[in-house]
Amino acid sequence: MQELKSKKASALTIAIIMIPVVLILTGLVIDGGMVFVKKAKLQSIADSAANAGLSMIGDEIVDIVNAKLAANPDYEAPEDILDALDDTDRAALAASASPKNKAEEYIILNNTNDFEFSTQDIEFPYNYSPGDSNISIRIDLSSVHELYFSPMLGIETQELSAESISLIGIQ
């Protein structure tokens, strides 16, 4: 009988110790999962904004060629549309504000109030010098995510960041 009471006491002690440990681990798994999902959403916003911004360059290339066709009916567009661009056209593409504006628009459209950005940096053109064969856009986003269970361990928030670089050939 004494041995049975001792086993019950041991089992109760183990249960008392294990319940908080299991609850803390469950909370950390939930917080970790939420951080993972939020990070993926933030990366998706950055990627779609970079791609949307850079798609404007493609539209502008088509507009440049169409303007050349309209200005000179004898002009024959080359098979490769990029061959129609000269240095002045490339400079105009690099100076365009529409890729940055479109990227900002996509950031707003895709952020369904999930994030309050601590950093929202759009660089266009990114690392471009006249004569380069590519033009790119860089999106850098960061946000602070509040944690639900980790504050019990003294971890209140997690900084999330995403970077996306998209490029298009212009030669």
Query: Tokens 């993926």 correspond to what residue?
Result: 40
pLDDT band at residue 89, thresholds of 50, 70 and 90?
Answer: confident
| Digit-coded pLDDT (tens) for 37-82 | 999 999 999 999 999 999 998 888 888 888 888 888 888 878 887 8
Ranges of each domain in the chain: 2-169
| pLDDT attached to residue 1 | 62
Q: What's the rounded mean pLDDT across residues 23-47?
A: 90
pLDDT for 43: 95
DSSP 3-state assignment of 107? Answer: helix
- What is the phi-psi region of residue 90: left when phi exceeds 0, alpha when psi lies from -120 to 50, beta otherwise? alpha
Q: Which amino acid is at 132?
A: D
Nearest to 143 by CA among 116, 109, 113, 107: 116
Per residue in 146-162, pLDDT (tens digit) is 988 888 888 898 999 99
Q: List pLDDT tens digits, range 91-102.
A: 888 888 999 999
What is the pLDDT, as a whole number, of residue 46? 95
Percent of the chain with pLDDT over 90: 34
Percent of the chain with pLDDT over 70: 96
State which H helix or E strand residue 37 sits in. Answer: helix 2-71
Which residues, at least 6 apart from 80, have a Cβ–Cβ distance to it below 8 Å? none
Q: Is 117 helix (H, G, I), strand (E, B) or coil?
A: strand
* Torsion angles phi and psi, residue 117, rounded to 5: -75, 130
Rounded CA separation 45/55 (Å)? 15
Specify the pLDDT at position 101. 93
Over residues 124-136, the mean pLDDT reads: 87
Judge whether residue 139 has pLDDT over 90: yes
Region of 151 on the Ramachandran plot (φ > 0 left; ψ -120 to 50 alpha; else beta) = alpha
For the chain, state the CA radius of gyration. Answer: 27
3-class secondary structure, 12: helix
